[in-house]
Amino acid sequence: MTAPLGEGTGPRAVPDKRSEEQPATEETRGGGPPAVTIAYIAESAGVSIPTVSKVLNGRSGVSDATRARVEELIHRYGYRKPPKSRSNLVELVFRELESMWAVEIIRGVERAARRNKVSVLVSEFGLQDPPTPTRTINDTVGRRPQCVLSVSQLSAEERDQLSAKGIPFVVFDPNEELPDDVPFVGATNWRGGQAATRHLIELGHRRIAMISGPDHPFCLARMAGYTSALTEAGLPVDPDLVVKTLLTREDGCTAARELLSRTDRPTAVFTANDMQALGVYQAARELGLSIPQDLSVVGFDDVPAVAWVDPPLTTVHQPLAEMAVAATELALALGRGDDVPQVGLEIATTLTVRESTAAPKS
């Protein structure tokens, strides 16, 4: 899926109650005239901060009328871009570092960074209650990295702060819908879900359950692939065979325990990620079921550990390292002002068949 370049009408700065003769300003520099902010230019033009950034950097994706309106305001207020003094650094931001696939992402970012002769800093923003994104993103802005790679999410406020300081960013494997002009790198989740379910159908399974995750776009896409494969094969989509839960081993085990305790239990289970699949393994052992003789299991992600479990897990391979390389190269290209052909990339998934799937008992 390619996200089109667009002008965007994302979150804008709150308008200051001033006249156009008294624009919003940053701090006064050495007693001279105050500096007009990029946020005020965006608000005055009725566009998003990233759109003003595109005009300032001479990038495409802005209509002639909008470009002329923004340029007129830039000249009227005498806006000047802050001097470029970004550090030779790529900052990789995780919300939490507990996931098993973080190592693969870091490996890919390091590979691209070495090729481009830049350093990598790994940061963990943390899941705070209540969340305080302004404070944490301010730390990143203060370091002035070449670019920022954010795993899963980057709030509108955080995106605006980075854009205002001219720091390019890319969202890796986003867990929410993004505006069209926000750069991202993801995977073909729908096709992965379809391939996993087709594999089970081809083995002869007819009662195939799915343990899905929260309503993130990638979970919904994986579930849509599952339902598409069932419909394509002429099989009913039974809502009783679909369970939504968190993407953890513990929650996968709880969901599987309930599914497998039924008298008409499924003969196969497809899960939204590998951690849930490991939970299915645990529930099957507790209930005295053998994998794959009594139950076939397919996961999603292909983290390294699942090749070592007993039996090795059949799963959809998400090329995390390759995705991280692509995300880093995209962010650095944006930082150089290169004309990138597209700001949204999806890398192909593939099914890795191991020993956790087999034909159902007759």
Distance, in Å, from the CA atom of 157 to the CA atom of 349, rounded to the nearest integer, reads 32
All domains in the chain, ordered by first residue: 1-83 (1.10.260.40), 89-187+320-347 (3.40.50.2300), 189-318 (3.40.50.2300)
H runs (alpha helix) in 116-169? 133-143, 156-164
pLDDT of residue 129: 47
pLDDT of residue 258: 97
Do 14 and 190 form a contact (C-beta atoms < 8 A)?
Answer: no
Largest Cα–Cα distance in the chain? 85
Query: Quick one: how far is CA 36 from the chain centroid?
Result: 33
**Burial of 93 by CB count in 10 Å (0-12 exposed, 13-18 middle, 19+ buried)?**
buried
DSSP result, 189-251: HHHHHHHHHHHHHHHT---EEEEE-SS-HHHHHHHHHHHHHHHHTT----GGGEEE--SSHHH
Distance, in Å, from the CA atom of 266 to the CA atom of 242, rounded to the nearest integer, reads 11
pLDDT of residue 291: 97
Query: Quick one: how far is CA 2 from the chain centroid?
Result: 14
Q: Which amino acid is at 11?
A: P
pLDDT of residue 106: 92
Q: Which of 54, 115, 118 is nearest to 81 (CA)?
A: 54
DSSP result, 311-359: SPPEEEE--HHHHHHHHHHHHHHHHHT---S-SEEEEPPEEE--SS--P
Convert the pLDDT of each residue in 184-237 to its tens digit: 999 999 999 999 999 999 999 999 999 999 998 899 999 999 999 999 999 999
Residues of the chain with pLDDT under 70: 1-35, 81-86, 98-99, 126-136
Q: Which of 192, 238, 201, 185 is nearest to 219 (CA)?
A: 192
Neighbours of 176 (CB within 10 A): 13
- Write phi, then psi, for 153 (nearest 5 degrees): -155, 155
Instruction: Report the relative pairing of strands 184-187 and 208-212 from DSSP bridges.
Output: unpaired
Which distant-in-sequence residues (6+ apart) come within 8 Å of 61 by Cβ? 5, 6, 7, 54, 181
Which pTM does this prediction carry?
0.72
Tokens, residue 8: 């965007």
pLDDT of residue 184: 93
pLDDT of residue 44: 87
Is the backbone peptide bond immediately before 266 cis, with ω within 30 degrees of 0? no
Convert the pLDDT of each residue in 326-347 to its tens digit: 999 999 988 887 878 888 899 9
Query: Quick one: how far is CA 11 from the chain centroid?
Result: 19
pLDDT of residue 238: 95
